[in-house]
Amino acid sequence: MTTKKVQKVPTSIIQIDDVPDNPLRAIAREVTEDEYNSPYLSEVLKNMHKALAREKDGVALAAPQIGVSLRIFVVSPNAYPETAKSKPLVFINPKIIKASKKTAVMQEGCLSVRWIYGKTKRVISATIESYDENGKKFTYGASGLIAHIFQHEIDHLDGILFVDHGFDLEEFTEEEVRNAAK
């Protein structure tokens, strides 16, 4: 008997101009029914969490950012101060089903667009419908930072980067960013 080998999943974060046919520019496909609870899906999630945890300033990561063209994003516990344990960190096949009319301009950056920062206009609250790693459906309403993250991450699943619609974009050196964070 042979054990089915799990497809290898990368762990490093792709940059905007890294590779030809960049997965960052593709429309990611949905996770299928039979992929829930599969070794492949858990490998993808594990590596996404790993890649995100390496980035001190990272709050969320979408699967295309590690080169996996699936509709998944994960959120760092850092983005949910105090209540992290009770909040979902994995969002599979997410959809925004409700959004506020009201928008706000916020500062934004991206782990795949080092080291550019700028402003984007996003809705201030949004309700997402999504599945967890076991294929269980849930809805999640959020405002502020989390609503902002939802929109940034779902853009990733559609091949959109914040620099496509951001303004007042400014480029920094890695050193400048690290020093500012101290």
What is the nearest approach in angstroms of Zn ion to the Cβ of residue 139?
A: 23
- Contacting range for Zn ion; rule: CB under 5 A; set: 4-12, 23-31, 102-110, 136-144: 102-110
Residue 152: CB atoms within 10 Å: 22
Pick between residue 1 and residue 181 the one whose CB is nearest to Zn ion.
181
Pick between residue 131 and residue 156 the one whose CB is nearest to Zn ion.
156
> Which one among 31, 110, 126, 163 touches Zn ion, defined by CB under 5 A?
110
Residue 56 φ/ψ region, left for φ over 0, alpha for ψ in the -120 to 50 degree band, beta for the rest: alpha
- 24 is a site residue for Zn ion (CB under 5 A): no
Pick between residue 87 and residue 114 the one whose CB is nearest to Zn ion.
114
Question: Is the distance from CB of 137 to CB of 130 less than 8 angstroms?
Answer: yes
Reply yes or no on whether 153 is catalytic.
yes
- 154 is a site residue for Zn ion (CB under 5 A): no
Q: What residue type is assigned to position 108 of the chain?
A: E
Pick between residue 55 and residue 137 the one whose CB is nearest to Zn ion.
55
- Contacting range for Zn ion; rule: CB under 5 A; set: 32-40, 48-56, 110-118, 121-129: 110-118
Residue 167: CB atoms within 10 Å: 10
How far apart, in whole angstroms, are the C-alpha atoms of residue 40 and residue 44? Answer: 6
From 35, 43, 108, 153, the catalytic residue: 153
Question: Is the distance from CB of 100 to CB of 123 less than 8 angstroms?
Answer: yes
Please count the CA atoms within 13 angstroms of the CA of 28 that sit on its side-chain side: 28
Which residues are at the interface with Zn ion (CB under 5 A)?
A: 110
- Residues designated as active site: 153
